[in-house]
Amino acid sequence: MDKQTEQKKVFLEIVQQLRQLIRMEKIQAGEKLPSERVLSERLGVGRSSVREALRSLELLGLIETRHGGGTFLASTHKHQLVEVLSMFILEDEKSKKDVELTRQIHEKEAIRVISCTEILRTLPVWDSFFVKLEIEGTVNCRDVLREIIITSGNRLSLKIWFQLAAYDGDRLNRNSTEDEKLILQTMLKSMQLGYEKEALRAYEQWMGTGQTF
């Protein structure tokens, strides 16, 4: 039947078997995987084949390996994926702009989804951000965006966003300035009230003013 698809790529089968093993053993994020030698024995393949599969998963950021320590299911989201991709595909200065724009695509869509969904836009978390801005005068930019992406409910979009946000580094992980306070409050309040266009306008303003280019 689909032999043509299934036949090849034994190395990909190992990846799949690894996943199955992880589910069976109920290995949680951050926990240790069996050693390469044990895996090679249990899966009935050579250690080098196991390593090829593990290296691939490592490059994707799905596992972490510690020399002499073992292999662990990734807990933190420090994916090298974007870095590697950009190393190969995006080379010039435009790359960074592309990463930023792509990240913002997902953020804008999340804001749209939340604004249009009553259950999502009336969550208490938005009010907590709003109040925090009122009292403390600042919030962590990355935290706000992450919450927005998470709430939107698209887990693949979330995955992509994490990778792009990791690429942008600390430029995103900062406290909002005094100038951004009003903009952020406008964005949050508009989102809560379901004013999609107003929320997006505030977002655009935020992204335009908050960073220097």
* Residues forming the site for a second copy (CB under 8 A): 8, 11-12, 15-16, 19, 48, 51-53, 55-60, 62, 67, 80-82, 84-90, 94-95, 98-99, 101-102, 105-106, 108-109, 154-157, 159-160
3 touching DNA, by CB under 7 A: no
CA distance 11 to 54: 10
Helix (H, G, I), strand (E, B) or coil at 87: helix
> Least Å distance between CB 26 and DNA?
18
- Residue 69: C-alpha distances to residues 35, 163, 188 (Å): 9, 26, 45
Q: What is the CA radius of gyration of the chain?
A: 21
Q: Does 48 bind DNA (CB under 7 A)?
A: yes
Of the two residues 10 and 131, which places its CB atom closer to DNA in the complex? 10
Q: Does 82 bind DNA (CB under 7 A)?
A: no
Q: Which residues, 6+ apart, have CB-to-CB distance to 17 below 8 Å?
A: 43
Q: Candidates 38, 87, 101, 193: give the one binding DNA (CB under 7 A).
A: 38
56 binds, among DNA, a second copy, none (CB under 5 to 8 A by kind): a second copy
Can residue 51 be called a binding residue for DNA (CB under 7 A)?
A: yes
Q: Exposed, middle or buried by CB within 10 Å (0-12, 13-18, 19+), for 155? A: exposed
Of residues 58 and 143, the one with the C-beta less far from a second copy: 58
Q: How far is CA 36 from the centre of its chain?
A: 28
